[in-house]
Amino acid sequence: MVEIKRRLRIFIVFFICVTLFGTLGFMFLENQSFLNALYYNIVTMSTVGYGDIHPTHPATRLLAIFIIVLGGGTFIGVIANASEMMLLKREVEQRLKKQNIVLGIFFSEMGYRLLQFFSSCDIDREELADMMAIDVGWSEKELLAMAKTFKRTGLKVDMPKVDLTDLNQFLNKRHTFMLRLLENPVLVEHEGFTELLLALAHMGEELSSRASLTALPGSDLKHLAGDLNRGYHLLVKEWLSHLIHLKKNYPYLYSLAARKNPFNPKASAVVDNS
């Protein structure tokens, strides 16, 4: 998509330059009005050639040849790249929908559980809960502002509060599930989610590689904290991105996701208006 946009911009610049040059040339050489000169330029550039206006001077013929050779390719380039971009945009939108379906399954199977686990062990748990007080009534603008605020926030777990054995058992049970997600072709271009899965897989491998997860030395706990914090950060990042997508495209799915807010200890999927 980025490459197509770059090519389209280049062709548009050339198209504008050739159009201005040709229009001004026909105005000067054929003594035509701006509208007639522009019309003649476009007709020549598109190689339609109605014949109602035609060159009367050798210089005009040379100008027409220049426009046909350079302008024709530019004209076709603009149309071709614009069409390709529209088709690719539709394809990207369809792929994005499928990616978010997979993301929804991931959060239902393990994402929410991990978010609850990490947030309950966060060093700034109360401040984080206030910042992440997302509810059903939030607008897309508020969610986007939250995502920007999150980028400036450092998430850290309090290692003494972390039950490494429980985390290890949970990740081991979801090991096959994560491998299947990594093999899913829909997620090939979703680098953020792939990075998250790799971080969680590495976290599980680190924990499983230790004979015992109790009485670990401080240096090893510090090392594990780096792995946990990285996975925690990526997890929250993907969750917020997923919420924004749901809010924009599927309000009913967003409603459920917001009611299950893992940063709210009192969150519940039950709708209670009492």
What's the CA gap between 195 and 214, in Å, rounded? 28
Mean pLDDT of 12-20: 84
User: How is residue 97 annotated by DSSP?
Assistant: H
Query: Which amino acid does the sequence have at 188?
Result: V
Report the share of the chain in percent with pLDDT over 70: 95
Higher pLDDT, 169 or 82: 169
| Summary mean pLDDT of the chain | 84
Alpha-carbon distance of 107 to 87, in angstroms, equals 30
d(CA 136, CA 145): 16
Q: Which whole number is the average pLDDT over 235-252?
A: 90
**Range(s) for CATH 1.10.287.70 in the chain?**
2-89
pLDDT over 80 (residue 131) = yes
Q: Residue 50: which pLDDT band, with cuts at 50, 70 and 90?
A: low
Rounded to the nearest 10°, the torsion over CA 22, 24, 30, 34 is: 110
pTM of the model: 0.70
CA distance 68 to 229: 61
Distance of CA 257 to the CA centre of its chain: 19
The CATH code that applies to domain 2-89 is 1.10.287.70
21 φ/ψ angles, rounded to the nearest 5 degrees: -65, -45
